[in-house]
Amino acid sequence: MSRRSGKILVVDDDPAICIVIGEALKRQGHIVRTVGSIAERRAEMPGFAPDVLITDVMLPDGDGLDDVGSILAEAPNLRVIILSAQNTLNTAVRATGQGAFEYLPKPFDLNELVRAVAEALSIGPDAQESGGESTTEDLPLIGRSPQMQEVYRTVARVVGNDLNILVLGESGTGKELVAEAIHGLGPRRDRPFVAINMAAIPRELIEAELFGYEKGAFTGAAARTAGKFEQAEGGTLFLDEIGDMPMDAQTRLLRVLQSGEVTSVGGTRPVRVDVRIIAATNQDLPALIAEGRFREDLFYRLNVVPIRLPALRERAGDVPLLARHFLDQAAQSGLPRKTLSDEAAALLERYEWPGNVRELQNLMKRLTVLTRDQEIQVQHLRQVLPLADIPGVVPGAGAADLRESVRRWAREQLAVGGAHVPDDLHERLLAVVEPVLLGELLAALDGNQIRAAAMLGMNRNTLRKKLTHYDIDPTMPLRER
């Protein structure tokens, strides 16, 4: 990639961001101007004539994406880089649909922005393509983590073409949701989306399901039946769990992908089909190839654009957002509306989620039905989650349990020969032990009171009162107290 300097216009209402971006780009030899609104951007554009426009979406006087299409119509060689704190798939797709060169979610990596500017300046004027803007609002993918931002950006880049997609990820990560999003945001959205799970169909029936069959082709074939390829004509065919497809069916699938024609089981005349293929698997396909269980040529046909979905434990920061979304979803289906406490949300972040997003969704449904209280709290999670599997969480280690533990310790240490230990001695011991334990816990959690409250099974306000009572500064390292 050749490197050259250029004129950059930065549009953001945060002066600090403008300064940071401006200084970084000036060090690269670029001429930089910064403005803080759409009106200022419009006034600056004609005289400055930038090579690259870097613009935020949420600006004081409107949506920074709204007139990007018209700007590019007047200046087709301009490269537009979108910055947005609205880190959703819809924003990424809107940015791409308007013709943006790049979309970077906030908080962005400054080095990545510098690289994007350099790349925008290095390519020719014909390298930028503008597609029609999607109006889809009900999008199935949720998450603000860097891992999901990368998924959004890849999806946004492929929705407008027919390249084959291979979605990789553990069970329950939402691979079919990605396929539905690509279909629903692309030009085939008005045509069928057909899904087939290779692991759920008897191996001897997979070819008949995929390619259809003629009357009399086998016992029970009473009439000609179209297969999934014909059913998906003009639309998208989602081949889930492709790693479970038998080798003979793989051979026929490869032939269809090469020729664009399907011959039904028992048939002799091929049928032309126009279908986009999205495949998915939770298996290691290169390992299956090495074992002779998956065709290498089919793998390369399917793996034109790979999209890896992260496991939920890899994007734990998205868990509260997803959990609250699933609670809202349950309420919209007629179940009671529930909320999630901050302490419960912090505890959910620490769980490993072996079943990924699907497990979280099912848990929120279960809690919606089983929890009588309007707010789901830590004590409700104790009834349905294996808390012993969560690092640092001791089941039952709440405030009441701490008090009882101190009493039990006192009886063991001081009750000689069955002598009675006065309650006030218990309280005095608790006053000594509790602040030490609270201080140790907060030090281990870098002062995070939400997680500390969740681990102790107490309300955050209760924890704050205790910190005030014991004069504990959660921000101070333990050794300095």
User: What was the pLDDT predicted at 128?
Assistant: 41
Tell me whether residue 151 is in a domain: no
Q: Distance between CA atoms of 103 and 91, rounded to whole angstroms?
A: 9
Higher-pLDDT residue of 314, 157? 314
Domain that holds residue 247: 159-308
Whether residues 345 and 456 fall in one domain? no
Q: Is 112 helix (H, G, I), strand (E, B) or coil?
A: helix
User: What was the pLDDT predicted at 390?
Assistant: 59
Tell me whether residue 450 is in a domain: yes
Asked if pLDDT for residue 352 goes beyond 50, the answer is yes
DSSP state of 383: T
Residue percentage of the chain with pLDDT more than 90 = 42
> What is the domain-level CATH number for residue 356?
1.10.8.60
Whether residues 373 and 236 fall in one domain? no
Residue percentage of the chain with pLDDT more than 70 = 82
Tell me whether residue 141 is in a domain: yes
pLDDT (tens digit per residue) in 245-257: 999 999 999 999 9
Mean of pLDDT over the chain: 82
> What is the domain-level CATH number for residue 50?
3.40.50.2300
Whether residues 446 and 413 fall in one domain? yes
Name which of 79-83, 129-133, 264-268, 334-338 the model is least confident about: 129-133
Tell me whether residue 154 is in a domain: no
Tell me whether residue 63 is in a domain: yes
Find the helix or strand (DSSP H, E) in which 103 lies: strand 102-105
User: What was the pLDDT predicted at 125?
Assistant: 45
Provide the residue type at 122 as one letter: S
Q: Give how many domains the chain has, as a whole number.
A: 4
pLDDT (tens digit per residue) in 148-180: 888 888 887 888 889 999 999 999 999 999 999
Tell me whether residue 345 is in a domain: yes
Unique residue bearing structure tokens 């959690």: 445
Are the C-beta atoms of 237 and 277 separated by less than 8 Å?
A: yes
Tell me whether residue 21 is in a domain: yes
pLDDT (tens digit per residue) in 19-44: 888 888 988 899 999 999 999 999 99
User: What was the pLDDT predicted at 428?
Assistant: 65
User: What was the pLDDT predicted at 95?
Assistant: 82
Are the C-beta atoms of 86 and 68 separated by less than 8 Å?
A: no
Report residue 395's pLDDT band, with 50, 70 and 90 as the boundaries. very low
Domain stop point among 389, 420, 447: 389
Report residue 124's pLDDT band, with 50, 70 and 90 as the boundaries. very low
User: What was the pLDDT predicted at 104?
Assistant: 87
User: What was the pLDDT predicted at 466?
Assistant: 83
Count of residues making up the chain: 481
Domain stop point among 276, 291, 308: 308
Tell me whether residue 394 is in a domain: no
Whether residues 219 and 81 fall in one domain? no
Mean pLDDT, rounded, for 199-214: 90
Query: Sign of dihedral through CA atoms 334, 336, 341, 344?
Result: negative
Report residue 283's pLDDT band, with 50, 70 and 90 as the boundaries. very high
Whether residues 141 and 12 fall in one domain? yes
